Chains A and B, each alone.
Chain A
Amino acid sequence: METKKRGDLIINGFGSSNGGQFNQVIVNGKGTVNSDIDCEKFECSGTGTVNGNIVSQSAKISGNGKVNGSIESQYLSIDGSAKVANNLIVKKLNIAGKAYVGGKIKSDELKLRGKITVEEDCEAEVIKAESQFTIGGLLNADLVDITIFANCKAKEIGGQTILIKQKSSLLRLFKGFIPTQLETELIEGDKIEIENTKAGMVRGNHVSIGPNCIIDVVEHSGELLMAENTVVREIRKV
């Protein structure tokens, strides 16, 4: 690419700017950037709004970030609250706060902790979630490892290995009051181990169904393990 030196865009306090190509973009106060940004490092610690797309090497949203566009980055961590109108295309994505994504997430390594809403599909090689999430489309990964912290929802879940387990709580006392579960229409995978899941259809090779599941149909080609206090309306061996 071009060799000319890029400048920085730093907003401390109130301010607004147009976008462009930068080395660093840092928003510390209440800043607005009004067009696309192409930068090495993007950081938003205050209340930042970007009315455009962000392309960066690494990005961090620790305050309250709003992006009316897509984010494309090698690395992104969201510790505060972020609202992204379109897609998140990020190699390594860490969400620990609250995030809303209006489009889809495409990632290699995805870690979710906190509260996440994705309107469309969510794809990664590895997804680790200890959170509450709502996914409007397909949750697709080689390894899906979910620990349910509060009610979770995904339209479909597919992949090679799918593990869904209930948070092991020290306060077992409260367990009865707050029943948490994951709700989905379809789970498809080669190896499936689930707990506290409500699903329309579960299809797989090795299927293990733990306690507190409500499942309409299970189709399995390999072995099937079932816990005692779980409801499966129909089992088909194929």
Chain B
Amino acid sequence: MNEELISKKDLLDLAGISYGQLYRWKRKDLIPEDWFIRKSTFTGQETFFPKDKILERINKIQTMKENLSLDELADMFSPNISDLQLEADEVVGRNIVSKSVMDFYLENEKGNHQFHFSRLLEVFVLEKLLQSGEINLDEAKMLLQVLMDNRDQVKQKSADLVVTRKLGLSSCLLLINNEGFYFDKGTKIAAHVSLVSCMEEIKSKLG
């Protein structure tokens, strides 16, 4: 990833905001922690940001803060919708997940029919991979296990899910804050999904 960086000082000049505003937005989690990139320069330590992303975000905040409070804004930018509740029938009805995958999920996860965001994400990932034929049912069970065991991690960070096969043996990896991964030649990557983009897909389907 070779994106253009902007120093904090230049950013403040360019966007016309003050230190107070920047720190306030950081406190309210309007700007993700991992956008703060520390580098040493000849003047000492400086903080940099990914230029395009931060400018777009600041632009959004500035145009929307007239109508919304900072807390409401934070909910919008955070990758998960915390107070979401859906019935299983509703999830199927809205064409987010097919009936067969939903049945499979409920059977294996052994939960109730109330879907909050984490569960919705899990069933959505299964739907995506099973429908495209990238994984089979056994692998889906394994994948579900990984997702369920690491719900907290998935919620807060940007996670990637990878299913690999080697000599007919499959395994499933959950990568947190992933920067890249490599396998030996014999290993085939059966499926790779970014959970953040899945979350966005769900959000757009809900909205």
A binds B: yes
Is A190 an interface residue when CB atoms closer than 8 A count as contact?
Answer: yes
> Do B44 and A159 touch (CB < 8 A)?
no
Most buried by B among A160, A186, A217: A160
Is A216 an interface residue when CB atoms closer than 8 A count as contact?
Answer: yes
Is B69 an interface residue when CB atoms closer than 8 A count as contact?
Answer: no
Closest to A238 in B: B9
Is B111 an interface residue when CB atoms closer than 8 A count as contact?
Answer: no
Chain B residues, CB < 8 A from A161:
20
Question: Known: A216-B44, A217-B43. Is A140-B20 also a contact (CB below 8 A)?
Answer: no
Question: Known: A185-B45, A217-B43. Is A160-B24 also a contact (CB below 8 A)?
Answer: yes
Number of A-B contacts (CB under 8 A): 49
Most buried by A among B8, B18, B23: B23
Is B19 an interface residue when CB atoms closer than 8 A count as contact?
Answer: yes
Is B166 an interface residue when CB atoms closer than 8 A count as contact?
Answer: no
On chain A, the number of residues with a Cβ less than 8 Å from chain B's Cβ atoms is: 23
> Do B19 and A190 touch (CB < 8 A)?
yes
On chain B, the number of residues with a Cβ less than 8 Å from chain A's Cβ atoms is: 14
Secondary structure at the B interface, as helix, strand, loop or mixed, is helix
> Do B45 and A159 touch (CB < 8 A)?
no
Closest to A160 in B: B20
Among A21-29, A34-42, A54-62, A196-204, the stretch that binds chain B is A196-204
Chain B residues, CB < 8 A from A125:
27
> Do A188 and B19 touch (CB < 8 A)?
yes
Is A19 an interface residue when CB atoms closer than 8 A count as contact?
Answer: no
B36 → chain A closest CB, angstroms: 9
A87 → chain B closest CB, angstroms: 12
Chain A residues, CB < 8 A from B8:
188
> Do B20 and A159 touch (CB < 8 A)?
yes
Closest to B21 in A: A160
Is B60 an interface residue when CB atoms closer than 8 A count as contact?
Answer: no
- Chain B 1-42 near chain A by CB (<8 Å), digits 1 or 0: 000000011000000001111111011000000000000000
B114 → chain A closest CB, angstroms: 14
> Do B45 and A158 touch (CB < 8 A)?
no
Is A189 an interface residue when CB atoms closer than 8 A count as contact?
Answer: yes
| Known A141-B23, A186-B45, A205-B19; 20 more pairs at CB < 8 Å | A125-B27, A140-B23, A141-B27, A142-B20, A142-B23, A158-B22, A159-B19, A159-B20, A160-B19, A160-B20, A160-B23, A160-B24, A161-B20, A189-B19, A190-B18, A190-B19, A200-B45, A201-B44, A204-B19, A219-B9
List residues of chain A with CB under 8 Å of any chain B CB. Answer: 123, 125, 140-142, 158-161, 185-186, 188-190, 200-201, 203-205, 216-217, 219, 238
What are 14 A-B pairs with beta-carbon distances under 8 A? A123-B27, A125-B27, A140-B26, A158-B23, A160-B19, A160-B21, A185-B45, A186-B45, A189-B20, A190-B18, A203-B19, A204-B19, A217-B43, A219-B9
